[in-house]
């Protein structure tokens, strides 16, 4: 009975295949982690995407990197958990909802907190579903049963626990300090949520008159409106120009407030006039100076960016309107000295996209130094966590050293409401800066505490503010595993193994997590932090919404498939932490690099189809492992184990791009283009049964290994092929993600054999290239001569001559020694006859010489002379004709000229090429139309030379070089270099037609 031969469809359809396996993996909980399973744990918690967002290329890149690591370690037998989840993104969601309300003519206060939060949860449900479904399309191998959200019940419990503990330990306090204020979102923002932008502004110079009428001082500022809040002017106490003025007072223009002149070493005497206006309520440096000199703090600004009553006549004006009006008033009053153009850096709110205002505000703060210093001890004493690349360690450390107290309260409603309750009955029913409060884990506990402190009639109101999103995100690695409860997940998977994230989030998130974890768990939350780069656009620029140069990953997935995009993103990584550039044609929405990866998938698919059609319906397991005897079998098995070793080493050391490239070269080059071609003749029905069996075993063995090696990078196509190759039952199939990753067998690696085979492959490739250059039709067999002085190379070429003939379509192959000009394949019987003939001739000449010598010897004096001449001639003859092989060959040729022993001469009807020290010669007579080939090459050369001339003229034109955009000029230079290279190649080919 003939075995049923399983086979794949003729064309690979990534879209149906990927959707099928994504559903299968999730429905069957293939990636569900089991803490009871045992084995070394490997855990990654997902960097939670915001629920407001949709999948962008950064998500796709990061998810592909993480999934590759997770799938690899799962197949290595580790107890693996990749935990998914999302972040509530308080400022982003809040801003989005307020914009919606504004369009409806409403405010959040009119809507009320409860209704506002209902809207927020509704938005979360819609948006979160979008981004999670998009992550599913990437084929991420997460444990969906453990999905978390930063506002879910368990994580909210962890946030309250962390806040109350820190407060009870004296590490959280409430106080009035200068904070970064975003007028757009009307909330405080942290330092890491501020983006500094360089702008073209102005520097205004004003005169402040001395109160005693003895003169004035000149100050300069980029924010004239803040002068309304000035409470001093500072000079350096060592500045001889002004130190005599310290202690005197000035009269503040417009408001006529008397302010002192103070001495402070913070002032740089070389900057500006050396006099600095001091506005403690509106500048961080002035705030510190104000504390040192006990200056009053006068806040002139409302939370919406308008000026308040302290601004006098400018009350109610927007800050930027007030700026113009203040300048006009100062000019009218004669206090404006000059206005200079001034380029400087302005801090912008990352969320509100408007300049922030340093604003005096009562907020909640974390005392950061104890947490940061504890984290620094882990780093300095235990090198924990370890950063990859290592250079980011210094950046991380420097940040920890410079950290100031962390403002954690936000004037928003979407988020974790601060677990503090104010006794408003103590301050006339209002929450003021001085209202007493209690911190508790629940409202019930707050009432119990408040009654004990303020009596039964106390009235409580919870703090309306919410916590900074990064406070809850800082707990993510352990709160998602059940902390503060001592869960089995926490015991098994914490600390997590690896954090994969971008360098731009080290300050936002990584440092927050390490500080929180170090304090609450006495461990760093992850062993390794793998910092990846950015995905740059086709011009090498950072993608951003502002530039509008983003690339939608779903568009590329829809066009080329998920595996193609994933593989492209990983393969482009040139080293850990490096940015990658993605080729993209915006007019066509196409990517040549992703298309190349799709072609790679098709190549694998077609190779797998060929292999399965030649296994007689047997699986690799049924065929058994090969015992290789033939050269090609031993070579591919050696290469396979070398690739296992190489890939494992790369991934273990975060060289994911290098691993992807190595697999590509092995699969496409060694397996598909070389080995499969080499064994085709052995798979024929009339081939030697033993050789055929070994070829089948090797094909099945290598193909299944390839699928396992490639699976972490391209999970869908490898699963589809593996299911068919191994003939898994439809009702209860095993699945590739749970198979064991290939293990290297060092005994099967033969570097010398690989080196030898590389020589054969290079030779075959060169012959093929020469055939293509000469337009030799694929079906036409040629004569080829290989010349090398290396005996070792000749041995390798001779051993593999059958492969050269088969794959390069060579009918007559000769392998010659250049130095001796002697054909290695000369027939030995002919050589023997020629040697005998040479000996006979030598004997005849010797006899004649002796007879002549005897006759001459009888003549007096003459005989002695001839003896001397004969001795000298003999010495000369031997040195010229017998000492070297080449000399002997010339002597031989004088008497026995043999065409078959001579080096084939390069004629005008031949084409030549070189591989290292091997020269390849292919006669073209009778094979191709020489003149047609020459004409074609000359036509191509003429076209390229015209292009070279045109580009050279363009680049020699100063007008073009000076006026054109830099990228256009560089493009022309690149095109010229390429054209010159093509011209050189074409000239060499013409010379080759000798």
DSSP string covering 22-80, please? Answer: HHHHHHTTTT---TTS-S-EEEEE--PPBTT----HHHHHHHHHHHHHHHHHHHTT-EE
Residues 6+ apart with CB under 8 A from 182: 188, 189, 349, 351, 352, 354, 356
Q: What is the pLDDT of residue 540?
A: 84
Pick the closest to residue 780 from 655, 924, 927, 910 (CA basis).
Answer: 927
- Give the start-end residues of each E strand in 818-871: 822-823
> Phi, psi at residue 259, to the nearest 5°?
-130, 150
10 Å CB burial of residue 735 (0-12, 13-18, 19+) is middle
Is residue 841 within 8 A of residue 833, CB to CB? The reply is no
> Phi, psi at residue 190, to the nearest 5°?
-80, 170
Mean pLDDT, each 10-residue run in order, the chain (994 residues):
73 95 96 94 94 83 96 98 94 85 90 94 86 91 96 96 98 90 81 79 93 93 94 94 93 94 92 90 91 93 92 94 95 94 85 84 93 97 96 94 91 94 95 94 96 94 94 96 97 97 84 97 97 87 77 93 97 84 89 96 98 96 93 96 98 96 97 94 93 97 98 98 95 94 96 91 89 84 90 88 88 80 40 51 53 54 52 57 52 49 48 83 80 81 91 89 84 89 79 64
Alpha carbon 583 to its chain's center:
14
Pick the closest to residue 983 from 929, 951, 947, 958 (CA basis).
Answer: 947
Pick the closest to residue 47 from 20, 18, 85, 93 (CA basis).
Answer: 85
Dist. CA 991–CA 779, nearest whole Å: 26
- C-alpha distances out from residue 80 to 33, 480, 648, 911, 927, Å: 6, 15, 17, 58, 61
Give 148's strand partners.
Answer: 85
Q: What is the pLDDT of residue 830?
A: 47
176: three-class secondary structure by DSSP: strand
- C-alpha distances out from residue 1 to 4, 6, 615, 723, Å: 9, 15, 16, 24
Is residue 717 within 8 A of residue 21, CB to CB? The reply is no
Dist. CA 371–CA 520, nearest whole Å: 10
- C-alpha distances out from residue 866 to 842, 848, 861, 872, Å: 20, 15, 9, 10
Residues 6+ apart with CB under 8 A from 706: 604, 640, 663, 666, 667, 671
Please state whether 34 falls in left (phi above 0), alpha (psi between -120 and 50) or beta: beta
How many secondary structure helices (H) and strands (E) does the chain include? Answer: 33, 30
Dist. CA 138–CA 573, nearest whole Å: 18
Q: What is the pLDDT of residue 900?
A: 38
923: three-class secondary structure by DSSP: strand
Give 531's strand partners.
Answer: 501
Is residue 509 within 8 A of residue 480, CB to CB? The reply is no
Dist. CA 528–CA 387, nearest whole Å: 6
Task: Output the 3-class SS for 103-171.
Answer: HCCCCHHHHCHHHHHHHHHHHHHHHHHHHHHHHHHCCCCCCHHHCEECCCHHHHHHHHHHHHHHHHCCC
Q: What is the pLDDT of residue 867?
A: 56
Dist. CA 53–CA 763, nearest whole Å: 54
Token readout for 744 is 């290297």
Beta carbons within 10 angstroms of residue 939's beta carbon:
11
Dist. CA 495–CA 33, nearest whole Å: 16
């Amino acid at each position: 009975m003939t075995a049923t031969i399983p086979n794949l469809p003729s064309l690979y359809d990534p879209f149906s295949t990927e959707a099928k396996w994504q559903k299968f993996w999730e429905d069957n909980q293939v990636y569900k982690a089991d803490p009871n399973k045992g084995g070394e744990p490997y855990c990654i918690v997902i960097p939670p995407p915001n629920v407001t967002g949709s999948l962008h290329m950064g998500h796709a890149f990061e998810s592909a990197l993480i999934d590759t690591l997770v799938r690899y370690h799962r197949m290595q037998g580790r107890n693996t958990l990749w935990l998914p989840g999302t972040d509530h993104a308080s400022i982003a969601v809040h801003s989005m909802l307020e914009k919606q309300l504004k369009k409806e003519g409403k405010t959040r206060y009119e809507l009320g907190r409860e209704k506002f939060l209902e809207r927020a949860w509704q938005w979360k449900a819609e948006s979160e579903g979008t981004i999670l479904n998009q992550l599913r399309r990437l084929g991420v191998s997460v444990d969906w049963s453990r999905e978390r959200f930063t506002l879910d019940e368990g994580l909210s419990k962890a946030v309250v626990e962390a806040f109350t503990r820190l407060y009870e330990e004296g590490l959280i306090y409430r106080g009035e300090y200068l904070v970064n204020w975003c007028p757009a979102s009307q909330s405080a923002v942290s330092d890491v949520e501020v983006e500094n932008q360089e702008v073209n502004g102005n520097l205004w110079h004003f005169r402040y008159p001395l109160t005693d009428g003895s003169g004035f001082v000149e100050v300069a500022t980029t924010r004239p409106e803040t002068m309304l809040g000035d409470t001093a002017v500072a000079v350096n106490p060592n500045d001889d120009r002004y130190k005599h003025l310290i202690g005197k007072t000035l009269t503040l223009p417009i408001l006529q407030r008397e302010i002192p002149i103070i001495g402070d070493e913070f002032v740089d005497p070389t900057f500006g006039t050396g006099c600095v206006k001091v506005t403690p309520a509106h500048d961080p440096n002035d705030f510190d100076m104000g504390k040192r000199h006990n200056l009053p703090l006068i806040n002139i600004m409302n939370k919406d960016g308008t000026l308040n009553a302290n601004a006098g006549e400018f009350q109610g004006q927007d800050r930027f309107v007030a700026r113009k009006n203040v300048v006009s008033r100062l000019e009218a009053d004669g206090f404006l000295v000059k206005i200079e153009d001034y380029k400087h850096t302005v801090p912008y709110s990352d969320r509100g996209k408007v300049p922030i205002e340093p604003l005096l505000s009562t907020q909640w703060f974390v005392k950061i130094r104890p947490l940061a210093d504890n984290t620094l001890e882990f780093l300095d004493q235990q090198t924990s966590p370890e950063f990859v690349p290592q250079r980011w360690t210094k950046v991380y450390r420097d940040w920890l050293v410079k950290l100031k107290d962390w403002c954690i309260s936000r004037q928003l409603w979407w988020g974790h409401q601060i677990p503090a309750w104010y006794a408003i009955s103590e301050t006339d029913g209002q929450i003021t800066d001085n209202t007493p409060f209690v911190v508790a884990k629940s409202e019930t506990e707050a009432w119990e505490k408040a009654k004990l402190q303020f009596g039964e009639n106390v009235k409580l109101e919870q703090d309306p503010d919410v916590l900074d999103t990064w406070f809850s995100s800082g707990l993510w690695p352990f709160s998602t595993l059940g902390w503060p409860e001592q869960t089995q997940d926490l015991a098994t998977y914490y600390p997590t193994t690896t954090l994969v994230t971008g360098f731009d989030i080290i300050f936002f998130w990584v440092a927050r997590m390490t500080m929180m974890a170090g304090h609450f768990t006495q461990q760093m939350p992850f062993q390794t932090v793998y910092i990846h780069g950015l995905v740059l656009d086709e011009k090498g620029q950072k993608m951003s919404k502002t530039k509008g140069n983003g690339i939608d990953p779903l568009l590329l997935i829809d066009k080329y498939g998920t595996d193609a995009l994933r593989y492209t993103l990983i393969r482009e990584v040139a080293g850990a932490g490096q940015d990658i550039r993605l080729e993209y044609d915006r007019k066509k929405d196409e990517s040549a690099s992703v298309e190349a990866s799709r072609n790679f998938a098709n190549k694998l698919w077609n190779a797998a189809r060929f292999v399965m059609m030649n296994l007689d319906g047997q699986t690799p397991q049924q065929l058994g492992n090969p015992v290789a005897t033939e050269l090609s079998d031993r070579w591919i098995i050696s290469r396979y184990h070398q690739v296992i070793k190489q890939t494992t080493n790369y991934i273990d050391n975060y060289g994911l791009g290098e691993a992807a490239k190595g697999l590509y070269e092995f699969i496409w080059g060694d397996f598909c283009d070389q080995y499969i071609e080499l064994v085709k003749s052995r798979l024929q029905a009339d081939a030697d049964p033993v050789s055929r069996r070994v070829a089948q075993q090797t094909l099945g063995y290598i193909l299944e290994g390839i699928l396992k090696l490639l699976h972490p990078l391209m999970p869908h196509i490898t699963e589809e092929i593996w299911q068919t190759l191994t003939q898994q039952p439809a009702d209860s199939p095993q699945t590739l993600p749970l198979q064991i990753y290939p293990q290297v067998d060092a005994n099967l690696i033969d570097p010398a054999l690989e080196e030898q085979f590389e020589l054969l492959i290079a030779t075959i490739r060169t012959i093929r290239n020469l055939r293509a250059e000469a337009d030799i039709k694929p079906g036409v067999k040629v004569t080829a001569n290989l010349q090398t002085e290396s005996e070792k190379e000749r041995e390798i070429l001779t051993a593999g001559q059958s492969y050269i003939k088969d794959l390069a379509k060579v009918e007559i192959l000769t392998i010659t020694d250049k130095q001796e000009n002697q054909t290695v394949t000369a027939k030995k019987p002919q050589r023997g006859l020629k040697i005998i003939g040479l000996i006979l001739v030598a004997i005849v000449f010797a006899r004649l010489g002796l007879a002549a010598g005897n006759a001459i010897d009888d003549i007096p004096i003459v005989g002695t002379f001839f003896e001397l001449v004969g001795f000298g001639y003999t010495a000369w003859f031997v040195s010229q004709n017998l000492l070297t092989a080449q000399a002997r060959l010339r002597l031989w040729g004088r008497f026995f000229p043999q065409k078959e022993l001579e080096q084939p001469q390069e004629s005008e009807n031949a084409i030549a090429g070189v591989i290292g020290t091997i020269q390849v010669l292919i006669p073209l007579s009778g094979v191709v139309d020489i003149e047609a080939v020459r004409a074609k090459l000359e036509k191509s050369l003429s076209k390229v030379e015209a292009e070279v001339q045109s580009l050279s003229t363009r680049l020699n034109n100063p007008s073009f070089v000076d006026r054109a955009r830099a990228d256009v000029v560089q493009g022309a230079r690149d095109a010229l270099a390429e054209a010159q290279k093509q011209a050189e190649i074409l000239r060499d080919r013409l010379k080759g037609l000798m």
